[in-house]
C-alpha cells in the first residue's frame, strides 16, 4: 500500500544511434513520468517541479532531458478520485 503523492517512471522506448564506424556511444530513451495525487492543487505544484528538476539535471551518464508532452487525467477507484499527470520526456545518455 503506497501513499500519495505517488511518482513512477517507465521507459517507453529507446533508440541507439549508429555511425559509419558502428554503434554510437549516445542513446536516446523516451520515459513516461506518472504523478498521482489526491488533490488537484498538489498536482499543479508537483508537475512543473518534477519537469524543471528533470530538465535541469545533468550528471552521470545523462546528457540532456527534454519534456515532450504533458497530459492530465482522472481515475475514480473505490470512491476515491485520483488526479494524474503524465509527463513524456526524452533522455539522451551515454551508453
What's residue 54's pLDDT? 93
- Residues 13-56 pLDDT 10s: 987 776 667 677 888 999 999 999 999 899 999 999 999 999 99
Helix, coil or strand: residue 79: coil
What's residue 77's pLDDT? 78
Q: How far is CA 50 from CA 5, 34, 75, 79, 84, in A?
A: 12, 10, 21, 28, 13
Mean pLDDT of 53-72: 94
pLDDT tops 60 at residue 1: no
Between residues 73 and 17, the one the model is more confident about: 73
What's residue 3's pLDDT? 82
Nearest Cα neighbor of 35 from 88, 73, 84 is 84
Q: What percent of the chain has a predicted confidence (pLDDT) above 70? A: 91
Q: How far is CA 37 from CA 47, 49, 63, 90, 91, in A?
A: 10, 14, 30, 24, 25
Query: Which cell is 37 given?
Result: 495525487
What's the pTM value of the predicted model, to 2 decimals? 0.81
Amino acid at each position: 500500500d503506497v501513499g500519495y503523492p505517488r511518482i513512477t517512471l517507465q521507459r517507453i522506448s529507446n533508440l541507439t544511434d549508429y555511425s559509419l564506424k558502428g554503434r554510437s556511444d549516445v542513446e536516446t530513451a523516451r520515459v513516461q513520468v506518472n504523478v498521482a495525487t489526491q488533490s488537484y492543487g498538489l498536482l499543479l505544484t508537483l508537475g512543473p517541479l518534477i519537469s524543471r528538476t528533470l530538465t535541469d539535471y545533468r550528471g552521470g551518464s545523462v546528457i540532456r532531458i527534454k519534456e515532450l508532452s504533458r497530459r492530465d487525467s482522472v481515475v475514480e477507484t473505490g470512491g476515491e478520485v485520483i488526479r494524474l499527470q503524465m509527463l513524456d520526456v526524452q533522455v539522451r545518455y551515454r551508453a
